[in-house]
Amino acid sequence: MRELEFQQQAAVGQKAIMTPIETRPIAGALGAEVHGVDLSETLERGAGASLREAFLTHKVLFFRGQTLTPQAHLCAAEVFGKPDLYPFLQGLPEAPEVIEIVKTETDTVNFGGGWHSDTAYLERPALGTMLHALEVPAVGGDTLFANTELAYAALSAGLQRSLEGLVGINSSEASYQGGRAAGIARIAGMSGAYVPEAQTYEAEHPIVRTHPDTGAKCLYVSRAHTVRFKGMTVEESRPLIEQLSAHITRPEFTCRFRWSDGAVAIWDNRTTQHFALNDYHGYRRHMRRVTLKGDRPF
């Protein structure tokens, strides 16, 4: 258990209460629960800096028992980056950057049900994502995370060299029959918020991505978004995409988070992938999400 180098100060009446903040790793590969933080409170400068440091260290942070209005959700997300609009769903009227992710009791398809990095099909993919659980199923609905930095480091030196300079073509339509907007519309809990006129996005990104803050090399390829490599056909590209995708999600590179009402997760999209498990048919799951503006991968 690693205690952060600060304490959060919250004013109660005329007194200031100092609450220790701790990070507790949940797996060897990545992920840590943060204790002693109320994300609905304005975090002082030192607290925000230390949370960002923990974010870079653990790659995904989890907070339990949080009560956040949409505006408070945005403020908490701003500790880690600048909130952005999601192109395929309309946000809340009072907070357009906040979208609702809902699977109803009658839905059989969920949102995010495959290993991926968010918005890899954009020229500037999301830096990160903050997800807040409002209602979770009695069983199931966990989210898996994978450390793409560890996955790259575990490759042989020869394969690492062969991947340098390889560029992936990422498409927003790769995982949705009839298009992403139409696929979202088939989820009853989200059909009222999808953007039917949303355009198709396609972007070229290096398969080996350098993290802009840490300098670490990470694999940036997935079955969900990468359709082929630049200069190669889909058929020629598919075997290596499959091989790398399977490698990234080996158990020793992953962690698993069991959601509870009020839980919050924020992950570094530049060095992780995630998978929302769809194992809770007949139950309702309601989340709110904010994505953070990112930079062009290099």
The secondary structure of residue 190, as a DSSP letter, is G
Q: How far apart are CA 27 and CA 3, in angstroms?
A: 17
Specify if 90 maps to a domain: yes
Residue 202 lies in a domain: yes
**Residue 117 and residue 171: Cα distance in Å, rounded?**
12
To which H or E segment does residue 75 belong? helix 70-77
Residue 34 has pLDDT above 60, yes or no: yes
CATH number of the CATH domain containing 163? 3.60.130.10
- pTM given for the model: 0.91
pLDDT tens per residue across span 46-61: 788 899 999 999 999 9
Dihedral pair phi/psi, residue 12, rounded to 5°: -130, 110
Q: Is residue 263 part of a domain?
A: yes
* Mean pLDDT computed over 215-228: 97
* 57 in any annotated domain: yes
204: in domain: yes
pLDDT tens digits for range 222-248: 999 999 999 999 999 999 999 999 999
Mean pLDDT of 9-18: 37
Which residue numbers are catalytic? 116, 118, 274, 289
- Kindly state whether residue 297 falls inside one of the protein's structural domains: no
Residue 264, pLDDT > 80, answer yes
CA distance 165 to 63: 38
Strand partners, 129: 267, 291
Which range of residues forms the domain containing residue 30? 2-292
In the chain, the number of structural domains is: 1
pLDDT at 4 over 60: no
Q: What is the average pLDDT value for the chain, to the nearest integer?
A: 90
* 298 found inside a domain: no
8-state DSSP, 183:
H
Helix, strand or coil for residue 89?
A: strand
Strand, helix or coil at 250? coil
The answer to whether residue 102 sits within a structural domain is yes
Q: For residue 102, list its beta bridge partners.
A: 286
